[in-house]
Structure 1
Amino acid sequence: MSGLIEGLPDAVALRCLARVPFYLYPKLELVSRSWKAVIRSTELFKARQEVGSAEELLCVCAFDPENLWQMYDPLRDLWITLPVLPSKIRHLAHFGAVSTGGKLFVLGGGSDAVDPSTGDQDGSFATNEVWSYDPIMRRWDQRASMILPRAMFACCVLKGKIIVAGGFTSCRKSISQAEMYDPEKDVWITIPDLHRTHNSACTGLVIGGKLHVLHKGLSTVQVLDHVGSGWTVEDYSWLQGPMAVVQGDLYVMSHGLIFKQEKEVRKVVVSASEFRRRIGFAMTGLRDEIYVIGGVIGPDRFNWDIKPMSDVDVLTELGREVVSMEDTGIEECEHDNNETNINDKPEEDTQFEESEQNNKDVEVAPALISVHPTQNSVAVAVGSDLRVFNLLEDCAVNLVDGSAGASHSDSIRAIRYGANGKLFVSAGDDKLVKVWSTESWRCISTVCSEKRVSAVAIGNDGLHVCFADKFGVVWVVDLPVDGSEAPLNKKAVPLLAHYCSIITSLEFSPDGRFIISADRDFKIRVTVFPKKPLDGAHEIQSFCLGHTEFVSCLAFICTPECSQGILVSGGGDSTVRMWDIISGSLLDTCDVGAKAGHLKTDASEANYSTITDICTIPDCTLIAVAFQSLQGIMLLSCDLQSQTLSVAKLVSIVGESFIPTSLGSSISGGLLWMVTGASKLHGSDVSSLSGVKVISGFKKSSPDSLDQEAVVLEDNEIPGGSKLLEKLQGSISIDEKVFLAAAEAVKTAMCNLLIKKQYSVEKREFRKRTRNDKKVKQ
């Protein structure tokens, strides 16, 4: 390495070459043999580190052509194509990729092509091979193989060593083993295993000098400070979605927004709504920016085309730039940065405020009904009014609540009897969850929620009450074992989370082993209910995926022959679906909207007849279904042997405008109770109204047939008669036109609540300024 630059010592010449941009090195090699030797030497790499000229480059693997890597120079907007990765595995996917010591490392993974005979990816779902790319030598080298083959695993660099943990060795087996690689010695060693594994992909992040391993679907994070101390389990309740670490801070993309996520606090930093339809993309941090790379758009319900993306989007807190992999010119998008005096109110706020107020005026809540397990009493909720009738004593119930004023100050969104009938729970938009004793109808506990409550459930043993809020968190409260009616001052603790998705329904499995939650993002989650619920529920049994619109309701078919029960669900896609909760597999689907003739031929969202409620008839395999626009109910029959659903009967309420909003039944009685109505009706003289109907004909003597015709009882035939109707309806008779208006208002309100909205930037900013969902101090 003598005489690099005439008149300069080689040490000085080396530092001069170290300051030359990396992309020019291939040209510098052509100057002379001595220059080529120094350009490819480790001394030059060390010199670049010393003089501070080391560059951060973004490495991207393209799916097509296969195993092709590129490096992006963000300072010069330049793409550099690398030699093809010489792995024998075609279309390598689900691998780990990290950089350390100035080299790129590609670890594990497998082929993305499925072998139909085995179900494995091209016969190689997971490999243990390791490759490194040296940008100075411009070549790939095979390094020592991992101890275990793995795919979909966590892979990070911690203190100069590469650590891999978790993942899958085959498409059917997840692992908890972890190992560490020393790049200088080219040696792998085992390190302590993860505390738990899960049947889902995992990822790794280094934050604050610690390795964090996250499994998809779990709220817990497993943390490694250093190898000797092993892993610790923390429950940070982080949002789920693509993640990136930028200058030591964690950022998460969720529901079209970028959140800055700390341990238990998050805040929105920038909108990313254009990525809501893009899937399969990569997200990473580089310098002080977030890069969103590639992916595909589609398919969705209205568009079956798949459009591959070659874009690289650069997101910052102040703006956004777009870079195309094919066209390296940077296109700068418009970005408005308006400042408003804190004491002034922008003119557009007034317009948005009027719009928001109109929305609040028509924010109706459907009437709800719940029946005591042995039909001792019936409860109806409409608006903030909770009405209960005692069937045993044939009289209305007076609720006893120690709090001043009405029991609830805003619309009730969920009511539920416990399995043994000793407890009753009501909750709603006033962020209060009230637990009642059904013996005295005294409120024994009032729990404050941080957000509006959307669903409730009571444990089969009566020891825990769970409720879900509109932010997607399920909370749990423990109750006294002795069944005491003494007032309780309880504070809820988080049990699990659906991460910013409104939870629409909660159910415990008949054996009490699982808690099932459904949300507006089309998914149903089956979670193992822990022995110590106050410590959180961290084990997901399965996800039931198949609905193409929000899931609105859940119920269990439970017979003596099937004590574990079979889950059924209804949704905004007009279907009732039957599930195996252990595996999450879909057993059958019944398109009740199409069978009832309530779907039009076009595919617009508004033409779907949403399932508003489903109710299983105890000790038989009949399912009652209520959905929008149907004046009555549909009865489905479930064949447990063939695991199929079929339409048994359509029960119409002739001559009346009665579209049920909620259904209820009891273990005894052979009756199906229905309610229709709503609260906060805009433009009506009646603020809240409800109507009650009952269908008979469900006897244990013929539980699976309708030999005894299902009949809509007349008002004077309903248990409790006019007394019950006057209590639950508020009046014995109500104008049918009002009920039609209520049904239409409920339909509109459900769409507004559960179908996701796209807001303009201006309206989103206004909603931020006027939001009123701050945490309630307890």
Structure 2
Amino acid sequence: MELISGLPEDIARDCLIRVSYQQFPVVASVSKGWNTEIQLPEFHRVRKSTGHAQKILVTVQSEFDSEKCKTGSLVKAMTMTNPVYKLNVLETETGIWGELPMGPELSNGLPLFCQIAGVRFDLVVMGGWAPDSWKASNSVFIYNFLSAKWRRGADMPGGPRTFFSCVSDHQRMIYVVGGHDEEKNALKSAFVYDVASDVWVQLPDMARERDECKAVFCRSVSGSGTIRVVGGYCTEMQGRFERSAEEFDVATWKWGPVEDEFLDDATCPRTCVDGCDVEGIMYMCKGDDVVSFEGNTWQVVAKVPREIRNVACMAAWEGALLLIGSCGFGEPYMGFVLGLKSGVWTKLESPENYTGHVQSGCLLEI
């Protein structure tokens, strides 16, 4: 069966790889041939290699109540009631915002403090606190951009954990590290989740307990890469962050030695991100600065825009950095993009209903 009647297969495929990600569910429903074609790993590879893959930032973001903000009661409302979190999507090239549909099990909102990561056309939502009971969960929910449908994944092993970190290898796996258990004990355990096979595998333990750490996937020439786990703190420290880091080599399945002085200062590492396709580079916010890690040293890249002193998340892609944050608690969240060559910040235009509190975010290329 021809993909497109009257057209050679290569031209038909060239047409399909140009389709916007928002149209994938429609494409999948047209015919079995089209559905099979866009499901192939080769489709994703060619879409990326030809520059047609779209970079989107998915945020765990609360609904923004404009009336409460205008009357000055937003801060009080946030402290007295549970905010409802949803998944919003920012197209980095166009600046257009959208909202993902929520599955039946998430109809009351996302779990508080859940973590998200993307693998190819799947977005994985893990853990968090149930919004109605605040009970910690080890649940896994997966949204597929090709079908626009949700499915339930295998629960995270080891029982519920909170404030862990997760990171994708952008191919198939998601790595989960650290956090704390229901007794507030910091954890040094780690797992890897094969999204396609829906299988969890336990990794060797880290050398240290790391609550509220940040995991970053560092690409390597060989293609296997390493998982760098930055900062966090042990049970006894309770919020006093460490400066150390350690790396897990995917190829050797071993943790390397702890780097005690990896960070210049003991700070929350939540904004740490990899440098997209540039090997060995990391970015993060440190105080008023955006800094980069390259060649075993941290260097200042730019000043954080004054409007977003409270940075919630960062994303990096070729030639650009994106920051989302606010000027203070209860204030609207906004985004700025930094051109790494020009050094110029550009403010993103965000509709009011996309300015609620951002808990976390992740960048996908689909």
Shorter chain as normaliser: what TM range? 0.7 to 0.9
Cα distance in 2 for residues equivalent to 1:228 and 1:163: 13
Whole-angstrom CA distance in 2 between matches of 1:264 and 1:285: 19
Change (3 A) 1:77 1:275: closer
CA contact (8 A) 1:255 1:273 kept: no
1:61/1:70 contact within 8 Å kept: yes
Equivalent AA in structure 2 for residue 282 of structure 1: C
1:568-622 CA-partner distances (Å, limit 9, x unpaired): xxxxxxxxxxxxxxxxxxxxxxxxxxxxxxxxxxxxxxxxxxxxxxxxxxxxxxx
Aligned partners of 2:27 and 2:145: how far apart in 1?
14
Deviation at 1:93, TM superposition (A): 2.7
- Per the alignment, do residues 287 and 131 of structure 1 end up closer, same or farther by CA in structure 2, a change over 3 Å counting? farther
Aligned to 1:233: 258
Aligned partners of 2:227 and 2:249 also within 8 Å: yes
Task: Provide the C-alpha distance between the structure 2 equivalents of 1:177 and 1:321, rounded to a whole number of angstroms.
Answer: 40
2:168 maps to 1:157: yes
Paired position in structure 2 for 1:205: 216
For residues 38 and 284 of structure 2, the distance between their equivalents in structure 1, rounded to whole angstroms, comes to 37
Residues 33 and 201 of structure 1: is their aligned pair in 2 closer, same or farther, counting only changes over 3 Å?
A: closer
| Contact 1:238–1:261 (Cα < 8 Å) also in 2 | no
**Deviation string, structure 1 residues 346-387 (Cα, Å, up to 9, x no partner):** xxxxxxxxxxxxxxxxxxxxxxxxxxxxxxxxxxxxxxxxxx
Task: Give the 3 Å change call, closer, same or farther, for CA 154–263 of structure 1 in structure 2.
Answer: farther
Contact 1:238 1:264 in 2 (8 A): no
- The CA distance in 2 between the partners of 1:78 and 1:277, in whole Å, is 23
Look up the match of 2:339: 316
* Contact 2:142/2:151 (<8 A) preserved: yes
Distance 2:179 2:258 in 1: 17
Shift of 1:150: 1.4
Cα distance, 1:314 vs structure 2:
1.0
Which residue of structure 2 lines up, in the alignment, with residue 487 of structure 1? none
Q: Secondary structure at the match of 2:253?
A: helix
Change (3 A) 1:33 1:214: closer
Structure 1 residue matching 2:137: 3-state secondary structure: coil
Summarize the Cα distance change of 1:78–1:95 in structure 2 as closer, same or farther, 3 Å threshold: same
Could you say if the C-alpha distance between residues 23 and 174 of structure 1 is closer, same or farther in structure 2, counting changes exceeding 3 Å? same
**TM-score between both structures, scaled by the size of structure 2:** 0.73
Contact 2:25 2:145 in 1 (8 A): no
Cross-structure match for 1:178: 190
Larger Rg, first or second structure (1 or 2)? 1
Alpha-carbon contact 1:162-1:181 (below 8 Å) kept: yes
Deviations 1:399-422 (A, max 9, x none): xxxxxxxxxxxxxxxxxxxxxxxx
Match of 2:101 in 1: 83
* Residue in 2 that maps onto 1:268: 300
**Structure 2 counterpart of 1:218:** 242
Q: 1:101 aligns with which of 112, 120, 137?
A: 120
Q: 1:96 to 1:8 in 2, by over 3 A?
A: same
Q: After TM superposition, list the pairs within 5 Å mapping 1:331-730 onto structure 2.
A: none
**Conserved 8 A contact 1:153-1:202:** yes
2: CA distance, partners of 1:155 / 1:196: 17
Mapped contact 1:270–1:316 kept (Cα < 8 A): no
Aligned to 2:63: 64
The alpha-carbon deviation at position 21 of structure 1 amounts to: 3.1
CA distance in 2, matches of 1:152, 1:187: 22
Match of 1:283 in 2: 314
Q: Aligned letter for 1:210?
A: T
2:328 paired residue number? 298
How many angstroms apart in 2 are the aligned matches of 1:26 and 1:185? Answer: 22
Cα separation, partners in 2 of 1:127 and 1:38, compared to 1, 3 Å? same
Change (3 A) 1:8 1:258: same
Secondary structure of 2:46's aligned partner: helix
CA RMSD in angstroms comes to 2.9
Question: Shift of residue 111 of structure 1?
Answer: 4.1
Q: Secondary structure at the match of 1:69?
A: strand
Q: Which amino acid aligns with 1:229?
A: K
Note the C-alpha offset of 1:258: 1.0
Counterpart secondary structure, 1:168:
coil
Q: Given the superposition, is the C-alpha separation of residues 84 and 37 from structure 1 closer, same or farther in structure 2, using an over 3 Å criterion?
A: farther
Secondary structure of the 2:43 match is helix
Long gaps (5+) in structure 2: 65-83, 220-224, 233-240, 354-366
Q: Measured at CA, do residues 44 and 194 of structure 1 come closer, stay the same or move farther in structure 2, by a change above 3 Å? A: closer
- Per the TM alignment, residue 142 of structure 1 is displaced from its structure 2 partner at its CA by 0.8
1:136 Cα shift? 0.7
* Conservation of the 8 A alpha-carbon contact between 1:19 and 1:48: no
SS at match of 1:170: coil
What residue identity is the alignment partner of 2:100? L
Taking structure 1 as reference, are residues 275 and 259 closer, same or farther at Cα in structure 2, changes over 3 Å only?
A: farther
Partners of 1:48 and 1:289 lie apart in 2 by 23
- Assess if the C-alpha contact under 8 Å between 2:27 and 2:34 holds in 1: no
Partner SS state of residue 306, structure 2: helix
Structure 1 24/90 Cα, relative in aligned 2: closer, same or farther at 3 Å? closer
Between structures 1 and 2, the one with greater strand share: 1
What does residue 110 of structure 1 align with?
A: 129
- Following superposition, the deviation at residue 5 of structure 1 comes to 2.8
SS at match of 2:63: coil
- Provide the C-alpha distance between the structure 2 equivalents of 1:243 and 1:169, rounded to a whole number of angstroms: 23
Q: Distance in 2 between matches of 1:154 and 1:28?
A: 34
**C-alpha distance in structure 2 between counterparts of 1:204 and 1:316, whole Å:** 25
Q: In structure 1, what is the Cα distance between the partners aligned to 2:352 and 2:85?
A: 21
Question: Which AA in structure 1 matches 2:193?
Answer: Y
**Secondary structure at 2:197 match in 1:** coil
Instruction: Assess if the C-alpha contact under 8 Å between 2:121 and 2:144 holds in 1.
Output: yes
Alpha-carbon deviation of 1:171?
5.8
Q: Which residue is equivalent to 1:127? A: 137
AA in 2 matched with 1:313: F
Instruction: Tell me which residue corresponds to 1:246.
Output: 275
| Pairwise CA distance, 1:137 | 0.3
Q: 1:197 to 1:70 in 2, by over 3 A?
A: same
Answer whether contact 1:255 1:276 (CA < 8 A) is retained: no
Contact 1:314 1:320 in 2 (8 A): yes
2:5 aligned counterpart, secondary structure: coil
> 1:75 aligns to what SS in structure 2?
coil
**Which residue identity is paired with 2:328?**
G
- Could you state the TM-score of these two structures normalised by the residue count of structure 1? 0.36
Aligned partner of 1:46 among 42, 45, 53: 42
Check the 8 A contact 1:95/1:153 in 2, yes or no. no
Superposition deviation, residue 192 in structure 1: 0.5
**What is the Cα deviation at residue 83 of structure 1?**
0.6
Distance of 2:134 and 2:291 partners within structure 1: 39
Alpha-carbon distance between aligned partners in 1 of 2:322 and 2:103, rounded to the nearest angstrom: 23
Q: Is 1:92–1:109's contact at 8 Å kept on the other side of the alignment?
A: yes
Other-structure match for 2:236: none
Give the unaligned 5+ runs of structure 1.
114-121, 300-305, 329-778
User: 1:48 Cα deviation (Å)?
Assistant: 4.5
Give the conservation status (yes or no) of the 8 Å contact 1:278–1:297.
Answer: yes
